[in-house]
């Protein structure tokens, strides 16, 4: 089968990706009057400048929430991308600087290499390769660049409020072959009483299983004894003690080791506090919330996932931040009721922070069948379409799916230290995207 991807396209793509990775586009809300931070605003403008150089018409939202670049005429085919990234975390865990792209052993390392700067630019240069071949588009191919995907998706909320919707589209922000169903995403906060004896601020982003939880205070010796008894990994110096876990994306919470839960469980045996007891007794380490909800699963999308992302305790109040991925056929309202009732018994009140309804596109639709056919022809892989606990921009528009760019069997390094993408895989994805856009838009 013909490939539109030339060596020149690959070279240009790689230079652009190095540039885009160099922007530390982590949320810093309101910085310099920007909605999500100066670095995010800068990388959005730089990406649109790049698109204009490649022959696309571009538009920047006056408030800086999103931008888009398009070619062609007719109905809208959307490619939904994002330029923001999660924080780098502990820089000592990185072998090379997270915002300085490094290439070694056929891989490109840097925050965003896999999620989602690498796949986004692979799709962009795939369309550029079609332009170079003189392909005439019968649809408008529009790259929509979001800037708030890793937090609240406010970029796409604004886009959808004022811009045209696509007739179909895909997001290069997941795994091949294709994801046609995505679980509902519920993020909540549980508020409770404070403590004069405890001061904690542990964990991080909602969508990451926390792999470190640090304690500093008078209970260090008792906590150390508890960690040894429980056989939990930790590090200690004169100033603090850090419980160690295993970071995973929240959709795979059951595969991670939650350091916040481990510290809370040990602390609960030493210092009484409702938030600690709730985490130790009701949540535990299973990552599926079975202690609260029972075993919740369905055939299309599998088990519920439950990630305690962070815990804060001050003299005035406490707060637990939780990310829940709800199977597509489960009753969200019933699950919320169960959580509220369980939390009440621990003096905790419920606040919904964010909710994204599940995604479902029929497997026999034109979009899904076309993309699946292209993938199979380009790879020889006959794996079926997938369902996922992940939340991609595909669910922000009707008739959109998640399509690549991580190939089956490859290591998922998004949100982790030393995030990388295999260059040959990005070039292969680029070839798949070029053929997919050719069939959908011409």
- Confirm if 29 and 151 have CB atoms less than 8 A apart: no
Q: Rg (Cα) of the chain, in Å, rounded?
A: 22
User: In terms of Cα–Cα distance, which of 375, 383, 424, 423 is closest to 170?
Assistant: 375
**Which residue numbers are catalytic?**
84, 149
H/E element holding 70? strand 66-71
Q: Assess contact for 185 and 323: CB atoms under 8 A.
A: yes
Q: Do residues 83 and 43 lie in contact, with contact meaning Cβ atoms separated by under 8 Å?
A: yes
| Residues, the chain | 442
| Tokens 């939990």, located at residue | 232
- Rounded CA-CA distance 109/21 in Å is 9
User: E strand or H helix at 339, and its extent?
Assistant: helix 332-344
The answer to whether 187 touches 332, Cβ cutoff 8 Å, is no
Give dist(CA 130, CA 404) in Å, integer.
Answer: 19
Q: Where are the beta strands (DSSP E) in 228-358?
A: 234-236, 241-244, 297-298, 302-303, 305-313, 317-326, 349-356
CA-CA distances (angstroms) from residue 209 to 98, 252, 264, 305, 310?
19, 8, 14, 11, 9
DSSP 257-270: B-HHHHHHHHHHTT
Tell whether omega for the bond before 405 is within 30 degrees of 0, i.e. cis: yes
What percent of the residues of the chain are helix, what percent strand, and what percent coil, each to the nearest 5?
35, 25, 40
Distance CA 311, CA 152 (A): 19
Is it true that the peptide bond before 177 is cis, omega within 30 degrees of 0?
yes
**Alpha helices (H) along 137-208:** 154-162
Measuring CA to CA, which residue among 407, 400, 402, 401 is closest to residue 429?
407
């Amino acid at each position: 089968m013909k490939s539109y991807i030339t060596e020149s396209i690959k070279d240009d793509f790689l230079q652009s990706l190095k540039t885009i990775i160099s922007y530390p586009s982590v949320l810093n809300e309101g910085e310099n009057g920007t909605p999500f931070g100066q670095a995010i605003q800068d990388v959005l403008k730089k990406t649109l400048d790049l698109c204009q150089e490649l022959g696309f018409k571009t538009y920047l939202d006056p408030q800086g929430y999103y931008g888009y670049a398009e070619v062609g005429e007719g109905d809208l085919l959307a490619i939904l991308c994002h330029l923001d990234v999660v924080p780098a975390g502990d820089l000592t865990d990185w072998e090379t600087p997270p915002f300085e792209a490094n290439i070694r052993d056929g891989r490109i390392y840097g925050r965003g290499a896999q999620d989602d700067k690498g796949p986004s630019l692979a799709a962009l240069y795939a369309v550029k390769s079609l332009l170079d071949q003189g392909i005439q588009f019968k649809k408008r191919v529009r790259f929509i660049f979001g800037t708030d995907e890793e937090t609240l998706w406010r970029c796409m909320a604004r886009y959808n409020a004022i811009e045209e919707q696509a007739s179909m589209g895909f997001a290069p922000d997941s795994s091949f072959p294709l994801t046609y169903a995505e679980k509902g995403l519920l993020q909540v906060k549980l508020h409770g009483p404070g403590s004069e004896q405890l001061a904690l601020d542990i964990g991080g982003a909602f969508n990451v299983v926390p792999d470190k939880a640090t304690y500093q205070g008078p209970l260090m010796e008792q906590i150390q004894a508890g960690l040894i008894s429980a056989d939990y990994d930790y590090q200690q110096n004169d100033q603090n003690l850090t419980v160690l876990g295993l970071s995973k994306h929240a959709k795979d919470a059951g595969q991670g080791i939650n350091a916040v839960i481990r510290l809370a469980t040990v602390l609960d045996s030493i210092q009484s506090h409702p938030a600690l007891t709730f985490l130790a007794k009701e949540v535990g380490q299973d990552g599926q919330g079975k202690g609260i909800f029972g075993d919740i699963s369905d055939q299309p999308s599998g088990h519920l996932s439950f990630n305690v992302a962070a815990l804060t305790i001050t003299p005035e109040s406490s707060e637990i931040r939780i990310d829940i991925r709800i199977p597509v056929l489960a009753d969200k309202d019933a699950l919320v009721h169960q959580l509220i009732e369980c939390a009440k018994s621990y003096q905790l009140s419920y606040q919904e922070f964010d909710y994204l309804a599940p995604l479902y596109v029929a497997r026999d639709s034109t979009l899904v069948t076309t993309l699946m056919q292209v993938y199979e022809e380009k790879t020889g892989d006959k794996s079926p379409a997938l369902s996922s606990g992940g939340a991609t921009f595909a669910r922000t528009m009707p008739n959109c799916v998640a399509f690549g760019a991580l190939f089956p069997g490859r290591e998922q390094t998004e949100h982790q230290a030393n995030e990388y993408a295999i260059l040959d895989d990005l070039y292969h994805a680029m070839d798949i995207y070029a053929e997919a856009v050719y069939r959908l838009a011409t």
